[in-house]
Amino acid sequence: MRQGIVTRARLQTRGQALSEILASAGSRPQSEVLLRDDDRCLFGVLDIVSPGAGGLIIDLKTGRNASAALSPAIDHQMTFYAHLFQVNFGAFPERVLVFSLQRGLVEIPVTSSDIAPFLSKIHAAQLSDRVTAYPHADVCRYCPKRSRCEPHWDAISAWDDADAIEGEVAAIEHSSSGTAAVQIGGQWLTGISATLLPSNLAPGQFARAVRVRRRRGNASGDWSASSSSRLRILPES
């Protein structure tokens, strides 16, 4: 069976279940929502959030992660998201789910009693001068230390759904629309807004870009940026 037929079949079966969950969520669900815990200097971007009908969180799994079995990394991620939800909306979410075309909706057993020990581990890590890194796409995506974390850069080349590039800046081009394109390590990164482009970026510097997306159907392997992307010059001053 061709991959396109498989995908359509999964959309029909899995998509209906997702639609029903969203319809039962009460208030209109929001997508790509930035939530913060400023007291602990924590933040995250959640794929789907609905504070109505008891509270709902859904994380969308794509690429290699779409077929991955549930893991401690996913439990960690969803516990973190549940905490951010509670801080921002004043209540613990009733449902914490992950969704993929391969596996459909899977409920993650996160409870309010999981939060205190989870936060204790984070606090201990924040106080430690040295933290052991365990690179994983779900864990690394919104980590603020990505640009300086060498274990992450060593691991990312093996990820099917890699969302970061690094290398020497060879060229910078500006468009009439106000966006820029930067050639990093021989690959073009396009759609960079003025707010994301470092003002002192210049050819010859070493740069790293995270939360970028490979452009589909582009044989040259070029990438595109979004509002959540970040571009850093190394070493940082």
CATH of 3-127, one of 3.40.720, 3.90.550, 3.40.1350, 3.30.750: 3.40.1350
N-terminal to C-terminal alpha carbon distance within the chain:
53
State both tokens at 229.
Answer: 């992307």
| pLDDT above 80 for 66 | no
Percentage of the chain lying above the pLDDT 70 cut = 88
Choice between 151 and 18, residue whose per-residue pLDDT is larger: 151
Q: Beta strands 56-60 and 95-100: pairing type? A: parallel
pLDDT tens digits for range 174-217: 999 999 999 999 999 999 999 999 999 999 999 999 999 988 76
Residue 49: per-residue pLDDT: 93
138-234, what's its fold? OB fold (Dihydrolipoamide Acetyltransferase, E2P) (2.40.50)
Residues 6+ apart with CB under 8 A from 187: 165, 167, 220, 221, 222, 223
pLDDT band at 116 (very low <50, low <70, confident <90, very high): very high
Residue 231: per-residue pLDDT: 95
Q: What is the CA radius of gyration of the chain?
A: 19
Residue 1: per-residue pLDDT: 39
Report the range of poorest mean pLDDT among 54-63, 90-99, 196-205: 54-63
Residues 6+ apart with CB under 8 A from 235: none
Residue 119: per-residue pLDDT: 93
Report the range of poorest mean pLDDT among 44-48, 138-142, 150-154, 221-225: 138-142
Residue 174: per-residue pLDDT: 94
**Residue of 237, 179, 233, 173 whose CA lies nearest to 207:** 233
Give the whole-angstrom CA distance, residue 96 versus residue 110.
7
Each domain of the chain, given as residue ranges in start order, spans 3-127, 138-234
